[in-house]
Amino acid sequence: MKLIIRQVEVPLEYGKTDIIAGLVKKLRCRSEDIKSHEVFRRSLDARPRRPAPVFILQIEAEVSDQIKKNLPHTRDIEILKQIPVEEKVPQFIIPEHRPVVVGAGPAGLMAAYHLAMLGLKPIVIERGAKAEDRREVVDEFWRSGRFMQENNALYGEGGAGLFSDGKLTARSKDRPRIKLFFETLIQCGAPPEITIDSEPHLGSDVLLEIVPKLRQIIEKRGGEFRFKMRLEHILFDGNRVNSVVASGEKFKTRHVILATGHSARDIYQLLAEAGVAMEAKPFAVGVRLEVPQQQIDRSQYGEFAGHPHLKAANFKLTRKPENGARACYSFCMCPGGLVIACASEPGMLTTNGMSYSARSGHWGNAAFIVPINPEDFADSAAPHTVLAGLKMQQQIETAAFNAGGGSFMVPAARLSDFLNDRISRDLPGNRSCRMSRPGDFKGILPDYVMQTLKSAIPPMLRELNKVNADDALVYAAETRSSSPVRVLRDENGCSASHQGLYPAGEGAGYAGGIVSSAVDGLRAAEMLVESLEKP
């Protein structure tokens, strides 16, 4: 008999005997009744009410049938029904022209992977460079501010997520596709623990090793990558994809997976001019805030901060609307990480957070952002009203660029100065973002965003009772948490207005993060294959 057992407590330094002891206690059985077990989920419980932090496990176990009648009646124990899974092998007609995937971020890579594994030999067009060629360019940008418009922290193989924390958390409940994605990452060198940790992450250093290996798998299966090629046109016969043009080269195709990410603003303009159905959607803007990581660890772990089995702590904070202020929430928290400057257009600047796999930096950072609704930018002047949110993002990023002195230096301030509308006299010498300088935050963000941040951040930080707000720094501006545009799809995953076009990932407005983007890319590829299936 197989069971799913939840809420099994084990110590930080747990081993097999601790797992067995936890199962025996939960099932009220003997150790010999447990034939086998496998941990499939692990989370940390470090709440102050506990004398010491513990891991909480979810386990699949095979046990003796004799204990069935004595099982405790609790939702933590579930008898696993054995349902035979019938693998459906798609039967499809190979199209005359190869499918094209535009964009080599998580969505594009996993879409290409699925197509390649089925023998469809996709062509992947990516405006930036290979992952291994991006590192030097991005490092140089962070050193000197030398900007390359088609190869930067936001464009190139691996997408914007290549220079981030490499978080693998997701709200998606699509377990089969998440499992496939994780198994693919492990095949490319990711640690196996990502399949069980409740908040797995890789780090940019590990991602830089994984992404090229994934590309190599796709190439071995007949896929082709064309780097440093920018999509210029999608050509249609009526409302059906006919071909694409990238950097002057024409690719005949009837199937395009568009996975260009939320920073490729020119693609939205291209789609609008072609009459592709889109709509404005909510997004959020704010600042990136950092505090010493040791303070975060003490706030979350108490006296156990620094324990060798505890990783750098993170946090998630929210604030409801009150007293005229909007909601505010933390986003993309990077323990032991860095605040980084990012840009995809000259004269504009945004921020992000990143970390390496060890998460061993002095600072922890997170975005503190405020929701923006379509009615907030409905009156903005834009060639197409659906793109008015992009216009608002660009205005904020232009203001941030100017406030930093016009050389891609990030405007920064001590939190106390930010709250009191002062320009900081100086910044800590050990701040994580060296490409920063004291700047005037007035005029960067809308007044209602600034007022919300100034109202919400102090009480939010007080929830982390060991964090000293006087040690916090803020950087402006965080603008790319999600796309302000959604490319509409029908029930078959295809564009609602143009056949053969499959919008996918963050840029299409259907994902938010590495995992959800990868899952959406897989789903788009599956939908494409279904359109090829024999009747």
Q: Which amino acid is at 469?
A: A
Q: Is 382 a residue whose pLDDT tops 60?
A: no
What span, in angstroms and rounded, lies between the C-alpha atoms of 453 and 285?
Answer: 10
Three-state DSSP at 367 gives: strand
Q: How confident is the model at residue 174 (pLDDT cuts 50, 70, 90)?
A: confident
pTM score, whole prediction:
0.94
Beta bridge partners of 80: none
Q: pLDDT digit string (tens) for 428-444? A: 999 999 999 999 999 99
Q: Is 82 a residue whose pLDDT tops 90?
A: no
What is the dihedral sign for C-alpha 274, 279, 280, 283? Answer: negative
Q: Is 379 a residue whose pLDDT tops 70?
A: no
Three-state DSSP at 400 gives: helix
Q: Which amino acid is at 449?
A: V
pLDDT recorded at residue 81: 83
Q: Which of 66-70, 219-223, 238-242, 319-323 has the lowest mean pLDDT?
A: 66-70
What span, in angstroms and rounded, lies between the C-alpha atoms of 294 and 52?
Answer: 18
Mean pLDDT confidence for 231-248: 97
Instruction: Please provide the DSSP assignment of 14-60 as one string.
Output: --HHHHHHHHHHHHT--GGGEEEEEEEEEEEE--TTSSS-EEEEEEE
Q: What average pLDDT does the structure give for the chain?
A: 94
Q: What share of the chain is helix, strand, coil (3-state, %, to 5)?
A: 35, 25, 40
pLDDT recorded at residue 533: 83
Domains delineated in the chain = 2-79 (3.30.70.2700), 100-280+485-532 (3.50.50.60), 283-478 (no CATH)
